[in-house]
Amino acid sequence: MLKDRGNKKWTAMMLTEHVTDLRNWYESDNDIPEPEFDEFSLNSLADDLNIAFQTKSNVRITYWSNKRTENYEGEIIELLPNEQAVRIKINDYSIKLLLKNIVKLNVYD
């Protein structure tokens, strides 16, 4: 008896649309929903950002974008209250991060 019988049987019926849908489905399993904050956590994040900016401490920011999280490590060089963003210096370049997409902030020396 062939153990591969089921794969041979169903592979012939797979259309390219099915294959692309299956790939999209596998990729969507790793999606992370957009973060939602209450007032307390937003105030806590703002306090931590101010302390890190004033003390010129290094920070590790977990940032949500495109249904994934990324970690950035560096020093906060500018707070942008009008844009609701923060500019962080990473090695030789700087990057602007929106406050609404910051998932977690760790301050360390």
Compute the distance between CA of residue 8 and CA of residue 107 in angstroms, rounded to an integer. Answer: 55
Domain 39-108, architecture per CATH: Roll (2.30)
Q: Which residues are 102's β-sheet partners?
A: 63
Print pLDDT tens along the chain (109 aa): 556 555 556 666 667 787 888 888 888 887 888 888 888 988 898 899 999 999 999 999 999 988 889 999 999 999 998 998 999 999 889 999 999 899 999 998 7
Could you state, in order of their start, the residue ranges of all structural domains in the chain? 39-108
